Structure 1
């Protein structure tokens, strides 16, 4: 007869020990939550909405020096508010940041998957980060986010200037689903009393111009009941911009369409309206209309009360 006996594991079977560890874990989480500053919470909100930001982007958007950013990010990583991985998209070896376990606790309804908006919720922050790392759109996400980071950095050093709204592709797509648009990002840029809403199409030159131009149809539909915001076609080179402007020449659109290139600062005179190909405009000079004040057809109409940054 066998004399083998079941092997018991006190770590998993002692109720008092489990309860004690659970209490300690909860206390640790609560303590770490109390350590989060307003700036920390803003960063976590960005990562919940926009998935990923580089160390340089976080520095430019929220800090006064690289050293202070590096030290604070190390602290946030240490308390698992953020996770980090090495940037393989540019080869410069800097860290990219996403939500960590504590960050997911703060934002349990964060967007789940940059490639599949309808994907099931990840089981953990690790799985969410793995989806970001493995996304074929990682470089595109970083490029899209760069425009908004540049605007945030500009606003920090200029009075009466602010980025009042920054929505991700998934947020804007859901908000304007009736029109069938899928912008890479949506924002409202305010300079003094001037408010300019815009939709961004971040172009890396991977799609034929005909595909890019077909995207304008949804924005045409949106003008029938919603905002009439400029569509920003931001491309990699002057040559592609010139080709776009030639393709748009003489084509009437219900909303403004402006082109720009990646290397120019988005707040400055970087935008050319398709109807005025010889003139460069500042972002706040572009024509913009928030649309009818009708909650039934335009429920996301921007007002000053809606500023989320």
Structure 2
């Protein structure tokens, strides 16, 4: 008699380590990570990481894709959940059993997503914080929410991510706007209106971090920020920096500070309320 699908998944369980479970959860939450990102977060030796990823792929827990580089060569492997990975995570979170077809479609849609570079950029920000915390015992990334999780919680705010970062007992919350240069800066600044509305609803007054691709773009953004009221705290840094370090330039300041030194107010326990409109006005 052939094994049931459930029995087939159970046969994989003895091969899944606690580190594997963390990786599966990361991919469930954040969709895609490169080999290098996984290595920095979870492994000491790159070769050990590569071998383990191949083993997890052979078990059907992971899948991967990559594209060619302009000018020759290939991009790094991009890792996602495989069918058994989707099944395992569905069991963990009491979700419906996915079909093999639905798992394939998820990988295909993700690999063809025109916003893939933007997603990897946002993930890279949190990967660097996670890596920093591995190397510095007094630091901790207490929360890493994806765009989807952030929007679900805060409703009208569509940040690229939200986090809580702690150093020596001090915790700062933040919203991330990972900029890849695809939007005019005027449109980027206009996003602050939604954060202002969230603050007026009694939500957290977290700094909005603009993580930019160049110092020139950062300078131009600060020129636009000068024309706004300071209702929403903001700070900028560039992709070539380490987010935990003293690289953040608050609007209106000339001195760069550490992430943990940015002003942060956690607001009310319930950050968003459906009885408030986008202008912060209570409605029935």
- Residue deviations 1:207-231 (CA, integer Å, cap 9, x gap): 1111001100010011121111000
- Residue deviations 1:26-72 (CA, integer Å, cap 9, x gap): 43321212321111111111111111000000001111110111111
Is the contact between residue 122 and residue 128 of structure 1 (CA under 8 Å) also seen in structure 2?
Answer: no
- Residue deviations 1:81-128 (CA, integer Å, cap 9, x gap): 111112457864321100111110122299xxxxxxxxxx99422111
The higher radius of gyration belongs to 1
Further displaced range: 63-72 or 89-98: 89-98
Aligned match of 1:102: 84
**Structure 2 residue 134 is matched with structure 1 residue 140:** no
Further displaced range: 243-252 or 229-238: 243-252
Distance in 2 (CA, whole Å) between partners of 1:136 and 1:88 is: 16
SS in 1 for 2:205: coil
SS in 2 for 1:69: helix
Distance in 2 (CA, whole Å) between partners of 1:171 and 1:141 is: 14
* TM-score normalised by length of structure 2: 0.88
**Structure 2 residue 106 is matched with structure 1 residue 128:** yes
Aligned match of 2:141: 163
**Structure 2 residue 232 is matched with structure 1 residue 255:** yes
Distance in 2 (CA, whole Å) between partners of 1:92 and 1:226 is: 44
Is the contact between residue 87 and residue 96 of structure 1 (CA under 8 Å) also seen in structure 2?
Answer: no
Is the contact between residue 85 and residue 95 of structure 1 (CA under 8 Å) also seen in structure 2?
Answer: yes
Is the contact between residue 236 and residue 249 of structure 2 (CA under 8 Å) also seen in structure 1?
Answer: yes
- Residue deviations 1:229-277 (CA, integer Å, cap 9, x gap): 000011111111000111111522323100111111111111100021x
Is the contact between residue 236 and residue 262 of structure 1 (CA under 8 Å) also seen in structure 2?
Answer: yes
Deviation above 4 Å: which 4+ runs of structure 1? Answer: 87-92, 294-298
Is the contact between residue 220 and residue 253 of structure 1 (CA under 8 Å) also seen in structure 2?
Answer: no
After superposition, the Cα gap between the structure-2 partners of 1:223 and 1:260, relative to the gap in structure 1 and judged at 3 Å, is same
Is the contact between residue 202 and residue 235 of structure 1 (CA under 8 Å) also seen in structure 2?
Answer: yes
Distance in 1 (CA, whole Å) between partners of 2:46 and 2:6 is: 33
Q: How many residues in Structure 1 have an aligned counterpart in Structure 2?
A: 266
- Note the aligned Cα RMSD (angstroms): 2.2
Aligned match of 2:30: 50
* TM-score normalised by length of structure 1: 0.81
Is the contact between residue 271 and residue 282 of structure 1 (CA under 8 Å) also seen in structure 2?
Answer: yes
Aligned match of 1:290: 266
Is the contact between residue 141 and residue 163 of structure 2 (CA under 8 Å) also seen in structure 1?
Answer: yes
Is the contact between residue 200 and residue 233 of structure 1 (CA under 8 Å) also seen in structure 2?
Answer: yes
After superposition, the Cα gap between the structure-2 partners of 1:295 and 1:137, relative to the gap in structure 1 and judged at 3 Å, is closer
After superposition, the Cα gap between the structure-2 partners of 1:45 and 1:159, relative to the gap in structure 1 and judged at 3 Å, is same
After superposition, the Cα gap between the structure-2 partners of 1:39 and 1:89, relative to the gap in structure 1 and judged at 3 Å, is farther
After superposition, the Cα gap between the structure-2 partners of 1:37 and 1:145, relative to the gap in structure 1 and judged at 3 Å, is same
Gaps of 5+ in 1: 1-19, 111-120, 299-309
SS in 1 for 2:162: strand
